[in-house]
Amino acid sequence: MRSRAKLDEKGSLMKRASGILMHISSLPSPYGVGSFGKEAYRFVDFLSAAKQKYWQILPLGPTSYGDSPYQSFSTFAGNPYFIDLDALKEQGLLYNEDFDGLYWGSDPEHVDYGALYNARYIVLRKAFERAKNDVAFMLRMEAFERDNDAWLEDFSLFMAIKSHFGGKSWQEWDDDIRLRDKAALAYWRLKLLPEIKLQNFIQLLFYEQWEKLKSYAGERGIHIIGDLPIYVPLDSADVWSSPEEFQLDSDRRPTEVAGVPPDYFTADGQLWGNPLYRWDSMGKNGYAWWMRRIARAGQLYDVVRIDHFRGLAAYWAVEYGSATARIGRWITGPDMDFISTLKANFPNLVIIAEDLGVVTSEVVELVENAGFPNMKVLEFAFDSNEQSNYLPHNYEHRCVCYTGTHDNTTVMGWASSAKPDDLAFAKAYAGDNPNESMVWSFVRLGMSSTADLFVAQMQDYLELGDEARMNFPGTLGSNWQWRMKEGAYDDALASRIARYVKLYNR
């Protein structure tokens, strides 16, 4: 029987635990990207052997421009890249010859998204053609279509039209379908029915395979922490199908877009470009769109991490068309009105508040009033000039301690680039053990802290450097590509992690 993660009455996770952060895409596989295949199950077994209780992943949606899992064509749909193709062979939907001549990339330690896009849909189309002759499969698909009609119909139509127009953003489509004229919608649904059915088929495969993997993890005591981006991209089925939820003008163009202002890391800030929500009107219907979104996340994951949680207190708005996020304004968000609605609708859902970035008193107050565990990052802790709230001796129980996140370098990367005084401070704080690498010093600090949950990146346990960094915020071209080599971990590593778990009662 699968058990869900729980919070106690004070908002703390009910038992000290630890977990590992690694996205599905980073798993080994012969098809250019990690998937829900045998390596995912093997990794769950590794987590269990290492006495971990959590596997944290990044968003599972279909990626769009820039290949970022935080920029998805849909907040409800799943990524076709994660479908296990070997499982389709076992089902008789694919044969070995279907893969002849396909190129998946040349480097097993990096995802080649261009190669992936070109090859993946070739084999999925072949699988769909065979599935059409499987009566039982098509009956399952009909049931899936009925059960998910609230989002699936618009998503599959959106993807079919996008394919028809050569991948163009819906902002560049013909006005009738861009503005969702009823006659145009009916026309395209009929014209593109085969492509729509293909998209439905892909989503069925994704959800069936994910549920199987999630159940396998749950049976071994592993909870899944999933990530929910606070925003959705402009070029998404979400904005196209529900324009009334977003700050768009009468021609469906954004008025202001999301980002963050300049900081220590980025002189121009980060211009994300996501359309902003009409929080006032959302509040009048009980944030219905958001509640559907949270419900879907609650089905996918055991614990939901809300990215950029501070945007619920106040968000940075930049005029649409600006070149950078340098010039913008802070606007008050929905604050506790939204949180109260969320908690009333989902009283048993465990949520982690990602409260990194510009943390003001308003953000601190929101996190405190919400009662959700927040985040502490060890790589941010060691400033030799001042005391940091990220130092373990400052923690309360209700928090999650990380070595670093997907937006940070690895611990080894941090150690190689840190200021000498900061590095000396970190070593002194950790006990300056000459026989212990900085990675394991960080692991010991996190494991021994009072934080309810400690999470390390898998790259850290593998003691990899900056070459294994997942994302460098504010840049394009080389992010989200890192993959773990086949055979990179073993029983000895699992045993070493398990010893720390036992030592610190995790």
Query: What's the pLDDT at 334?
Result: 98
- Fold category of 17-503 in CATH: TIM Barrel (3.20.20)
SS3 for 417-455, per residue?
HCCHHHHHHHHHHHCCCCCCCHHHHHHHHHHHCCCCEEE
> What's the half-sphere exposure (Cβ side, CA atoms, 13 Å) at 19?
27
User: How many residues are listed for the chain in this entry?
Assistant: 506
Q: Looking at residues 460-475, what average pLDDT do you find?
A: 94
Residues contacting 82, CB < 8 A, separation 6+: 24, 25, 33, 34, 35, 36, 60, 206, 209, 210
pLDDT at 24 over 60: yes
Stated pTM of the model? 0.96
Q: Cα separation of 112 and 483, whole Å?
A: 11
Catalytic residue among 238, 302, 307, 355: 307
- Quote the tokens at residue 350: 């465990």
Residue in this structure with the two tokens 């000396």, named with its chain if needed: 424
Q: Which of 3-12, 176-185, 354-363 has the lowest mean pLDDT?
A: 3-12
- Quote the tokens at residue 206: 């994704």
Best CA proximity match to 28, nearest among 15, 37, 19, 20:
37
Phi, psi angles (nearest 5°) of residue 451: -55, 140
Q: Cα separation of 361 and 357, whole Å?
A: 13
Q: Cα separation of 21 and 405, whole Å?
A: 8
pLDDT tens figures, 226-279 = 999 999 999 999 999 999 999 999 999 999 999 999 887 788 999 999 999 999
Q: Cα separation of 310 and 49, whole Å?
A: 36
Measured CA angle at 38 (ends 36, 44), to 5 deg: 80
Residue 10 binned pLDDT confidence (cut-offs 50, 70, 90): low
Catalytic residue among 67, 407, 452, 460: 407
Q: Looking at residues 284-298, what average pLDDT do you find?
A: 97
pLDDT tens figures, 84-119 = 999 999 999 999 999 999 999 999 999 999 999 999
Best CA proximity match to 407, nearest among 292, 265, 200, 201:
265
Q: Cα separation of 330 and 269, whole Å?
A: 13
- Quote the tokens at residue 457: 């990146």
Catalytic residue among 195, 245, 354, 355: 354
Positive or negative, the CA dihedral 404, 410, 412, 417 is negative
Query: What's the pLDDT at 1?
Result: 42
pLDDT at 12 over 70: no
- Quote the tokens at residue 79: 């990524």
258-295: buried (b, 16+ CB within 10 Å) or exposed (e) per residue?
A: bbbbeeeebeebbbbbbbbbbbeebeeeebebbbebbe
Q: Active-site residue 407, yes or no?
A: yes
Mean pLDDT of the chain: 95
Query: How far is C-alpha 336 from the geometric centre of its chain's CA atoms?
Result: 24
Helix (H, G, I), strand (E, B) or coil at 22: coil
357: left (phi over 0), alpha (psi -120 to 50) or beta: left
pLDDT at 151 over 50: yes
